[in-house]
Structure 1
């Protein structure tokens, strides 16, 4: 519990396609929601900027680090470590966050197995070029 002011850890692990990415998104949304209920998220406050960054960084990371595999159309091809600090004196609002990515499957940059795809970013760039011939 927050009142004990002890470090807490949540480890999300599992087989490919088990839902780790989606579970992480749900956990982050819940944490942000609790922080906002505790007084965070007030417009342009530091807490609200941190909360927004936590929620909005995932689509960017997925674009550059996820790919379609035979088992999962949005498979993470990297690991991520998320540290979130809560301000107990402010009722548990988020005071800071740090996200570290590691172990990017670099082979996806130059190729992929049959029936799979490279990282999403490449397809998004090609789609943008197709839609806008000026690129």
Structure 2
């Protein structure tokens, strides 16, 4: 494998039953598609449900999640596979602070945004 900034994965050959996939390997196309579909189903609930519970626009959450994931993937050179999605850590606090009743857009979201931004800055420093 050439020493490049962005990794080149080699295709896993042989039986996949009970196999451990190495960090520099990739699955064949069929299993890759199945794993991708499973991942999309698993991440979609949190990415759509969490913003809806807080009164955010779920479309904006999906867009920002995608942008964040792409930036992360480029910054780490594809060496750390990760999906950056919504978190449930703020749901209770946002609902309590804003008095959100769960119907339509949250009219008091500005009350919670300062705290969310401050927590994001702390998470960035810790990361």
TM-score norm. by structure 1 comes to: 0.30
Larger radius of gyration: 2
More helix by share: 2
Structure number with higher strand proportion? 1
